Amino acid sequence: MERLKIAIQKSGRLNEDSLKILKESGISVSNGLDQLRATVSNFPMEILYLRNSDIPQYLIDGVVDIAIIGENLLVEKDQGSIKVLEKLSFSKCRVSLAVPKTFEYNNIKDLAGKKIATSYPNTLNKYLKSEGIDAELHQISGSVEIAPNIGLADAICDIVSSGSTLFKNNLKEVEVIGRSEAVLAVSPEISESKKEILDKLRFRLQSVLKARNFRYILMNVPDGQIQKVISILPGMRSPTVLPLAEKGWSSIHTVIEKNKFWEVIDELQDLGAEGILVAPIEKMVI
């Protein structure tokens, strides 16, 4: 049986989140410790655990058909032939410039002629050129944030999530030059037959991603307020209304965007809604 080959990061946060979304999509992965290849028992797919920086080239060469990878790496490798199919809403970060806290920074011109350490030289070079800034770049791997402390550089360019690593190294973020998240990327060499398998996987992923943005909400409402409650609930099509055993009351069930709930909770309570329950949704097929 033909199998879709997917590459994910060998270890780290991206690895964990990638396996999590595959599991939520009904993909059963069975692999042992330190195994570089894993089979899937219930879907025509094979997983290859690869070093993050190697994945773009494997996609270009057609060694793997698809990959879950950080968008920032595709930008750095300048692989325009690799198509991004889905943004996966995890492993979000930004590519930023940072300087020591004692550095008097006003704007990007303050870095002209300075030494900047980075693991993303292409991304940084493009940004500096666009700003008309000439600086000296030092390409290093790992622990970029230590460079200013040991006198290797005046500033750094690196990925930032929470900013805690910068804080621990007495650095401050001064410019965001790009934003990134995990994406599903596809090889330009993928065959038509494997595209059919990919479409099925993509459908599953989309169902999981949609569900993460919504919540299932149910509440008890006085019958006289049903229409008003329905009018303020941004449901998908039409709420379900069920009569309760207690006369004069009904239960309303609907789906709401998770970030909209707190916007309407006060209105719902003012209309007499009681016993409001909010639950996560595992999958959503629209």
Question: Could you tell me if residue 275 is left (phi over 0), alpha (psi between -120 and 50 degrees) or otherwise beta?
Answer: left
| Predicted confidence (pLDDT) at residue 80 exceeds the cutoff of 90 | no
Distance CA 43, CA 3 (A): 8
pLDDT for res 52: 87
Q: What tokens appear for 89 in the block?
A: 């809403």
Q: What tokens appear for 155 in the block?
A: 């500033």
pLDDT for res 252: 93
pLDDT for res 94: 93
Residue 8 and residue 47 in contact, taking contact as beta carbons nearer than 8 Å: yes
For the chain, which domains are there? 4-91+181-211 (3.40.190.10), 93-180 (3.40.190.10), 214-280 (3.30.70.120)
| Predicted confidence (pLDDT) at residue 111 exceeds the cutoff of 80 | yes
pLDDT in tens, 156-196: 999 998 889 899 999 999 999 999 999 999 999 999 999 99
Q: What tokens appear for 39 in the block?
A: 């089979």
Looking at mean pLDDT, say which of 8-17, 143-152, 195-204 comes out highest: 195-204
